[in-house]
Amino acid sequence: MGDALFEIDPDIRVARTLPARVYSDPEIFRLQRERLFARTWHYAGHDDLVKVAGQVHPFTLLPGALDEPLLLTRDQKDQLHCMSNVCTHRGTLVVEGPGHEQQLRCRYHGRRFALDGRFHSMPEFERTVNFPSPSDDLPAVSLGGWTRFLMVSLAPAMPFDELVSPMRARLDGLPFSQLAFDAAGARDYFVNANWALYIDNYLEGFHIPYVHSSLATTLDYGEYAVELQRFSVMQLGIAKPGEPAFALPRGHPDHERAVAAYYFWLFPTTMFNVYPWGVSVNLVTPLAVDRTRVSFLPFVWDASKRDAGAGAGLDRVEREDEVIVESVQLGVRSRLYERGRYSPAREGGVHHFHRLLAEFMRG
Ligand code: FES
Ligand SMILES: [Fe+2]
């Protein structure tokens, strides 16, 4: 893998964008699994999934890219845990569905584990030497919580707090404890494009006037703002006069602004879009080099504000993004396109993402 492939000049004025191959080469997609996805934080669920002691919730982390069977639990001491869901005997999946348990028991040969993942007992192992040992426990997985949302990482290259601290600074004080998941409003979109093209598109408001005519009527394009952090990007959608916005208290950094939406992207696959009605969690799941699932999960704290402003009509905006991103996927396969340049005024977020992607892919 030539290093020039992952060189992005830190100076956006002279930099060139990621080479087209990065979005279409199956070998690069394969390398991203260990170099990027295994080392970063991904959304695992919300705390209601493991609300009471004894509750267990198995899930697959990034199906298509990591395919890692994991398990969330809340133990009898009310502590949350994330661990491997693979039995340390011969590798069966331990928990097959969500439920309530006193203990975990593998249905293959009856090995038992405590809810914190520690080995408990195993029949017919009396003559096995040096058994049990710590390697018979279910491996623990790093778990982080921000408000109601849980994220996990197999081998985190950055502390969870560093990832979420920009959200804490901006969003503390909003009524996260009142959020209710709107399961009926959740949707999965399947996009025929590389996951990183979807992220590129998310990270700039540049295309809003061209691609999203409805969104453009509620947002002030001139005031749209982008702030870069080490492992995240925040975009601020500012409401046009008379359009819905947060009422932020005195002392809040955005008190003077009519914020219609906070768009937080956490490197590499998670987005928290925060509107006056609540939070739309958008998850980008890379299924294959040219196929991506985008999940929209709505969490509501004020349903009366759902149908107005930048946070309304999200399905239409998503379909508009999908069409444009699929068009880019066709373009990056061209023999006649190699890489582009950035607008320093409008594409700081895209440049920042490309720098991070390059940093992780260089290893
Ligand atoms: S594989 Fe779990 S007990 Fe044998
Ligand atoms: Fe868009």
**CATH assignment at residue 147:** 2.102.10.10
Phi-psi region of 323 (alpha: psi -120 to 50; beta: other; left: phi over 0): alpha
Q: By alpha-carbon position, which residue is closest to atom 1 of ligand 1?
A: 90
Average pLDDT, the chain: 97
d(CA 249, CA 261): 16
CATH number for 203? 3.90.380.10
- Across the range 115-133, mean pLDDT stands at 98
How many C-beta neighbours within 10 Å does residue 285 have?
22
Asked if residues 8 and 358 have their Cβ atoms less than 8 Å apart, the reply is yes
pLDDT on residue 229? 98
Tokens of 88: 């340390």
Say which ligand is closest to the CA of 319: 2
Find the mean pLDDT for residues 252-277.
Answer: 97
Ligand 2 mean position, distance from CA 336 (Å): 26
Last residue of one domain, picked from the residues 153, 188, 213: 153
Instruction: Tell me, yes or no, whether 108 lies in a domain.
Output: yes
274 with 261: CB under 8 angstroms? yes
- 338 assigned to some structural domain: yes
DSSP per-residue codes, 232-277: EEEEEEEBPTTS----PPTTSTTTTS-EEEEEEEETTTEEEEEETT
- The answer to whether residue 81 sits within a structural domain is yes
Please name every residue paired with 31 in a beta bridge, in sequence order, or none if there are none: none
Does residue 179 share a domain with residue 147? no
Q: Same domain, yes or no, for 212 and 356?
A: yes
Which ligand is located closest to the Cα atom of residue 109?
1
Residue 238 lies in a domain: yes
pLDDT at 5 over 90: no
Distance in angstroms between the alpha carbons of the first and the last residue of the chain: 11
Instruction: Output the pLDDT for position 1.
Output: 54
109 C-alpha to center of ligand 1: Å?
5
Confidence of residue 2 (pLDDT cuts 50, 70, 90): low
Residue type, 191: V
Question: Which domain does 50 fall in, by range?
Answer: 42-153
Residue 210 and residue 346 share a domain:
yes
- Are 291 and 191 in contact by the 8 Å Cβ rule? The answer is yes
Asked if residue 254 and residue 346 are part of one domain, the reply reads yes
Longest dimension (CA), the chain: 76
If asked whether residues 61 and 115 sit together in one domain, one would say yes
The dihedral over CA atoms of 322, 262, 348, 9, expressed in degrees to the nearest 10, equals -90
Same-domain pairing of 136 and 206: no
Residue among 93, 108, 137 to mutate when testing ligand 1 (max atoms within 8 A of CB): 108
Distance CA(79)–CA(54), nearest Å, equals 10
Q: Is residue 3 part of a domain?
A: no
Residues 208 and 249 in one domain: yes
How far is ligand 2, taken at its centre, from the CA of residue 44, in Å? 25
How would residue 363 be classed by pLDDT, with cut points 50, 70 and 90? confident
Q: 108, 166 in Cβ contact below 8 A?
A: no
Statement to judge: residues 128 and 210 lie in one domain:
no
Q: What number does the ligand 1 atom closest to the CA of 90 have?
A: 1
pTM, whole model, 2 decimals?
0.97
Q: Which of 101, 123, 153 is the last residue of a domain?
A: 153
Q: Do residues 332 and 185 share a domain?
A: yes
Question: Are 199 and 335 contained in the same domain?
Answer: yes
Residues sharing a CB contact under 8 Å with residue 310, sequence separation 6 or more, in sequence order: 215, 218, 219, 237, 239, 243, 244, 260, 261, 275
Please report whether residue 34 resides in a domain. Answer: no
Instruction: Please check whether residue 7 lies inside any domain of the structure.
Output: no
132 and 273 in a single domain? The answer is no
Q: For the chain, what is the domain count?
A: 2
Q: Please, which pLDDT band fits residue 3 given cuts at 50, 70 and 90?
A: low
- Same-domain pairing of 63 and 134: yes
Cα–Cα distance, 104 to 93 (Å, whole number)? 11
Name the one residue in this structure whose structure tokens are 């929209």. 296
Alpha-carbon separation of residue 118 from 59, 84, 94 (angstroms) = 19, 11, 13
Of the three residues 121, 153, 185, the one that is the final residue of a domain is 153
Find the residues whose C-beta lies inside 6 A of ligand 1.
87, 89-90, 92, 106, 108-111
